[in-house]
Structures are given as C-alpha cells and as structure tokens.
Amino acid sequence: MTVDSTKTIRAVIVEDEELARQILREMLKTHPRIEIVGECTNGFEAVKLVPELKPDLLFLDVQMPKLDGFEVLELVGHDMAIIFVTAYDEHALRAFEVHAVDYLLKPFAAERLEAALDRARQRLGVKTVADPSELASAARQPGHYAERIVVKDGTRVQIIPVSKLDYAEAQDDYIALASQGKKYLKQQTISSLEACLDPKNFLRIHRSYVVNLERVSKVEPYGKDTHVAILSDGARLPVSRAGYGRLRALLDRQI
C-alpha cells in the first residue's frame, strides 16, 4: 500500500551529534516532499517534542545522552515510521524487533538514504499497532536484564534504576511502579516487565505483583492458602499460593 506520493512527509531527527544532524539535513534538503519539522539533540527532548509534532517519520540515533533510541521509542509509541541511524550494527536485530522501517549505518550514501525513504513511504499509511510491552523488551539488550525503567510522567521522563524499584502492581492495561515512596504509571503488562527484570532480584509473588526481593522484610500467613509479604517500608503485598511456592523455592536455593 502506498500513500499519496504528493503528500509531504513530516520528519523529526533525533541525534546528539551536530555534524550527524547536519548531513541528514543536507541530504534531505534535496527531497521536496520531506520536511524536517523538528530536531532533538537528546532523548528527553525527543520524548517531549515527538508527541507534540506527531511526525510521519523519525530518524533516531541509538546512542544518545539521557535516553537511548530504544527507550525513546518505548515512550513515544510507534505511530510513525522509524529509521534508526547508528554507527555500529550491534543493534540491528533489536531494530527489526520494533519494526523499524530501516537501519542506516553511519556514514551512509545518499542512495542508501533514498532506499530507506522509499521503504518509509511504503510503510506509511499501513498502521502498525505497536505493542508497548514489545517495545519495552526490545529496549533492553538481549541477554541482559534491564538496569533502569523509563516512565513518562506527563511531559517529564522518570528514570527508575531497577535497584530503586520496590514493587510493581498490575492495574488494567497499566502497571504501577513503586519506588522510594512514589508510584509511577506505565503502559506495559506485568509479564513483560517481569521478563525484563533479573529473576535473582525480582519475583512474581502474585498474578498482579512483582516484588524486589531485597525489600521483603518478612512473609506472614494470611488466610487459608495465601500469605502476605511485608516490605521494609511497611507496604503489604498479597502472595498467592503459587507465588509463595516460587518464593520458597528461591529461598531454598539460596540456602
């Protein structure tokens, strides 16, 4: 499916190096139907600007100050075509997992950019419904557990190091992340969050709860089949029967 070829494509460049922005700008200038509507020099700016501008196309550097390209994508959603621009191809696989249109390796030739734009034109119009949890798991390096969780809080971005995460609670389509006495809402499923976290430190104690094991100060019986976990800050979380089994298994292994 192709979009009306006379329509102007509105593009945003997210890239921290001035010279790299410059060459993209220069190459895109010759395209009458591409308009650069914004440029961001870091991930935070992108998270703020992209939802406002709602571009059709995003040129996204992977390695940037503040937030990397994948984290930006996780926070701005996926309603546009993405072209990753990076110096080194260690992220190529992850780029395809998030359905990027193309993946440009710096430095690139004008013809290579042309091919990427062609693919972008074809992709535009075909709405890909992005699964936010898929984006979240792609934002982490394969084989590595997440070291931080990014959450959009209005126009601000919160970065929660996983060591500061007390627990997460499922709430409909969202999860509430409790950290240092505050709660942050994020659109993600609790299972996909669980998959991102190191099972040595985090445990699914209940259908709706994942807890940081370091915070658990004790576990008490509660009712017939269930238990309750009491965290060091006093929070009480339900522990299901299956969750209690997992907890026991984990503790037994540690002893």
Partner 1 sequence: MHPILGQLRRLTLYLLAWVPLGGILLYLLASPGGLSWPKALVLVVPLCLIYAFVCLSAWYSCRFTPLETSGFGRLALTHLIEACIVSFLWLLIAKGLALALSILDGFRGLDQEMVRSYPLLLGSGVLLYLLAVALHYVLLAVEASREAEKREMEARVLARDSELKALKAQINPHFLFNSLNSISALTSSDAARAREMCILLADFLRATLGLGEKTAIPLRDELSLVRSFLSVEKVRFGPRFNLEEDIEPEALDYLVPPLLLQPLVENAVAHGISNLSEGGWIRLNIGCQNGAGNLSILMENNFDPAMTRRRGSGMGLRNVRQRLDMRYGNRASFEVRTDGDRFRVALNLPAERAA
Residues engaged in binding partner 1 (CB under 8 A): 16-20, 22-23, 26, 41-42, 63, 65-66, 68, 87-88, 105-107, 141, 144, 147-148, 159, 161
Closest separation between CB of residue 166 and partner 1, Å?
17
Under DSSP, is residue 109 helix (H, G, I), strand (E, B) or coil? coil
Residue 91, φ and ψ in degrees, nearest 5: -100, 5
- By beta-carbon proximity to partner 1, the closer residue of 145 and 174 is 145
Closest separation between CB of residue 122 and partner 1, Å?
26
Closest separation between CB of residue 16 and partner 1, Å?
7
Q: Considering Cα of 181, then 185, then 186, then 191, what sign does the dihedral take?
A: positive
Say how far apart CA 246 and CA 40 lie, in whole Å: 45
- By beta-carbon proximity to partner 1, the closer residue of 125 and 161 is 161
Closest separation between CB of residue 67 and partner 1, Å?
9
- By beta-carbon proximity to partner 1, the closer residue of 89 and 173 is 89
Query: Over the Cα atoms of the chain, what is R_g?
Result: 21
- Name the residue among 59, 108, 48, 105 with its Cα closest to residue 82: 59
Closest separation between CB of residue 212 and partner 1, Å?
15
- By beta-carbon proximity to partner 1, the closer residue of 148 and 246 is 148
- By beta-carbon proximity to partner 1, the closer residue of 140 and 227 is 140
Say how far apart CA 151 and CA 149 lie, in whole Å: 7
Say how far apart CA 211 and CA 206 lie, in whole Å: 9
Say how far apart CA 111 and CA 135 lie, in whole Å: 29
